[in-house]
Every structure is written in C-alpha cells, then in structure tokens.
C-alpha cells in the first residue's frame, strides 16, 4: 500500500492534505469530547460545548479543547501524510540539527515583535470600522479575544507554565509541522519555487486563524518562519521562533495581570516609536546579513525541491521453469 501512495503525483498529494486536515480535526474533536466527559460533563453537555465552545466560561474545558484541536487539526495531518507518502515526501520534515545560525533566532524573533505591532495597527486601518464587513470582523475579533482572555487567565506560576505549554509549545510544534514542514514543502516542490511555497503557505497559515484584523502581521510572521527553515535546514528553528513569539505574548499578558497599573496599550507601544523602530530595523538588518552569510540553502536546495514521487513498478517475476 505504501508503494501505491508513493506513486501519487504532487498535485494529488497537495489536494489530499485537505481531507487529512479534516480527519485530524475530527479526531481532535472526538478526543476533546472524551476530555470534556472525563472533566465531568455528560455526553450531550460535551457535544453542546463542542458546538459553542467560544461562549463557555469553563477555562478547564477551553484548555482541553484548544490542545486537542491543535494536535488534531495541525499535527495529526502532518503525521498521517508522513505515514502515507514516506519520509522522502517531506524531506523528513528537515529534522536535522540546525546550523549555528539558530543562535540568532531568539534575537531576530524578539526584535520583530515591535514590527508586528506596527503591522497590526496598519492592518486595522486597512479595514474601516464604519463599513458593515469591518464591523462584522471586529465583532468576531472581540469574541475570539474574549475567549483568549478566559483561556489565558493565569493565577500564579503554575497557570503560567501550563499556558506556556498550551499557547506556545503546542502551537509551535503542531502548526510548524503542518505549514512549514508539510504545506510549504509540497508547494515548493510543486511550483519548483521555494519563495512561492513560503508565501502561499504563509497566506494559508494566516487565513486559517480566521482573525483578519491581524492577517498581515501573521502573514509576515509565517514567511519569516518559512525562511528560517530553508536557511538553517531545520524545522526546529521555526518551532523555536514560533514558541518565542507566542511565549512572549503569554509572558506579557501574565505581567499585565499581575501589574494592574500598567495598561496593555503601554506594553504594546514598547519599541514602536519612530527612533526605536529605526534602531530595531538596523539591528535586524545586521542580524539578517549575518544569518544569510551562514546560510547553507544552496547546499540542500536541489534535495528540497526534488520530486519525491516514485513510479509504481511491478516486482520482477521469476521466469517459468523450463525443462
């Protein structure tokens, strides 16, 4: 059966990712359903929670469902794909140890945070609040933000550690293996252009979050993760950058919750002043230059873009015995 899957063309493999995501999401939903029942809910109550989980006030259930949906909707499809089409189909998710440039990843990620904040403000200005669709998007965004506030309500270091795992570790691994490890990889092979693979997968990465007031910064962030993968030769640098980005947000929220005198707006403005942005962009340019200088992308470009399809051949048959 594996030999049959490995003979499928790249175009089929790309399309096949969609049903794999659906299957993974259903599996995640079923596991989440069992988790809710273990948590004390009856079968019908758990089903009702799944159909309207954004309006529940039960933080424990929200955390269970968030984790199950991440593993099911993002990580499982990548694992299913690997099982069906083999390691060569995804360059073994580039699980190799990254080169020395991974040491620059934390600095690049942290320095990019103010840039993302500027892009968020710019993105919001592109969508007029006076329009009907702008108002609808802001209403949906408010619902999602309210759910995240409940999810990220932290009371002490135990909650902080738990939320770093749920909101930073799990998404970093699950989302990067799907978008950078699988989708970017397959798109790059199909188009024979790694830049198209990176930017199309970044668009999908941003769109699937269904938060269009932050579409542009999430798009740029997804592209950044994609370029980290190809220039370090390892998915783990994108996982690290993703974890740091989400983790800094969790830590910032924890700091706000424990310092009522500080507003979210004040924290968001750190590094976004014009002179500060000039120094940040200069530092990013220097780091980016050092990063590119150590890049070994030309070394593994051919293997990354190679067609992994193996033509289906019948095993040789033994000749009939002739007397």
pLDDT at residue 78 in the model: 93
pLDDT at residue 24 in the model: 93
Domain end marker among 41, 64, 85? 85
Rg, C-alpha atoms of the chain: 22
Q: Residue 252 pLDDT > 80, yes or no?
A: yes
Higher pLDDT, 248 or 320: 248
Counting the structural domains of the chain, the total is: 2
Kindly state whether residue 315 falls inside one of the protein's structural domains. Answer: no
pLDDT at residue 1 in the model: 58
CA nearest to 104, candidates 289, 323, 322: 289
CA nearest to 114, candidates 252, 257, 239, 230: 252
Question: Does 174 share its domain with 281?
Answer: yes
Q: Residue 315 pLDDT > 60, yes or no?
A: no
Q: What is the mean pLDDT of residues 5-32?
A: 88
CA distance 302 to 218: 29
Domain end marker among 85, 115, 150? 85
Kindly state whether residue 167 falls inside one of the protein's structural domains. Answer: yes
Least confident of 70-79, 256-265, 282-291, 310-319: 310-319
CA distance 24 to 68: 10
Question: Does 107 share its domain with 200?
Answer: yes
Strand, coil or helix: what is 65? helix
pLDDT at residue 147 in the model: 74
Question: Does 166 share its domain with 55?
Answer: no
pLDDT at residue 53 in the model: 60
Question: Does 52 share its domain with 138?
Answer: no
pLDDT in tens, 191-244: 999 999 999 999 999 999 888 888 999 999 999 999 999 998 899 999 999 999
Q: Residue 58 pLDDT > 80, yes or no?
A: no
Least confident of 92-101, 220-229, 286-295: 92-101
pLDDT at residue 60 in the model: 78
pLDDT at residue 96 in the model: 80
Q: Residue 6 pLDDT > 80, yes or no?
A: no
pLDDT in tens, 261-271: 766 676 667 76
Q: What is the DSSP string of 15-80?
A: HHHHHHHHHHHHHHHHHHHHHHHHTT--HHHHHHHHHTGGG---HHHHHHHHHHHHIIIIIHHHHH
Least confident of 4-13, 36-45, 271-280: 36-45
Domain end marker among 32, 59, 85? 85
Q: Are 93 and 177 in contact (CB under 8 A)?
A: yes
pLDDT at residue 2 in the model: 63
pLDDT at residue 194 in the model: 95
Query: pLDDT band at 9, cuts 50/70/90?
Result: confident
Question: Does 109 share its domain with 39?
Answer: no
Question: Does 54 share its domain with 127?
Answer: no
pTM: 0.88
Question: Does 20 share its domain with 159?
Answer: no
Q: Residue 138 pLDDT > 90, yes or no?
A: no
pLDDT at residue 180 in the model: 95
Q: Which domain holds residue 73?
A: 1-85
């Amino acid at each position: 059966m594996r030999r049959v899957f490995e003979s499928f063309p790249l175009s089929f493999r790309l399309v096949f990712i969609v049903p794999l995501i659906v299957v993974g999401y259903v599996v995640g939903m079923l596991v989440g359903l069992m988790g809710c029942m273990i948590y004390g809910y009856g079968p019908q109550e758990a089903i009702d929670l799944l159909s309207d989980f954004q309006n529940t006030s039960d933080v424990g259930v929200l955390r269970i469902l968030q984790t199950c949906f991440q593993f099911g909707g993002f990580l499982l499809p990548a694992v299913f794909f690997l099982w069906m089409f083999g390691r060569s189909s995804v360059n073994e998710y580039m699980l190799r140890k990254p080169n020395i440039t991974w040491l620059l990843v934390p600095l690049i990620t942290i320095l990019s945070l103010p840039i993302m904040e500027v892009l968020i403000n710019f993105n919001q200005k592109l969508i007029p609040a006076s329009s009907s669709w702008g108002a609808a998007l802001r209403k949906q965004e408010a619902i999602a933000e309210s759910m995240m506030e409940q999810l990220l309500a932290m009371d002490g270091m135990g909650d902080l550690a738990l939320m770093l795992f749920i909101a930073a570790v799990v998404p970093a691994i699950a989302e990067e293996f799907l978008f950078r490890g699988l989708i970017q990889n397959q798109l790059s092979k199909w188009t024979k252009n790694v830049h198209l693979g990176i930017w199309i997968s970044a668009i999908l990465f941003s769109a699937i979050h269904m938060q269009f007031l932050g579409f542009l910064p999430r798009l740029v962030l997804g592209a950044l993760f994609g370029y980290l993968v190809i220039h370090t030769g390892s998915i783990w640098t994108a996982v690290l950058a993703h974890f740091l980005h989400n983790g800094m947000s969790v830590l910032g929220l924890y700091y706000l919750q424990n310092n009522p005198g500080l507003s979210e707006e004040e924290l968001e403005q750190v590094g976004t002043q014009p002179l500060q942005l000039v120094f940040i962009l200069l530092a990013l340019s220097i780091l980016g230059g050092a990063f590119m200088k150590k890049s070994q992308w030309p070394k593994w470009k051919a293997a990354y873009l190679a067609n992994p399809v193996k033509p289906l051949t019948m095993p040789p048959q033994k000749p009939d015995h002739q007397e």
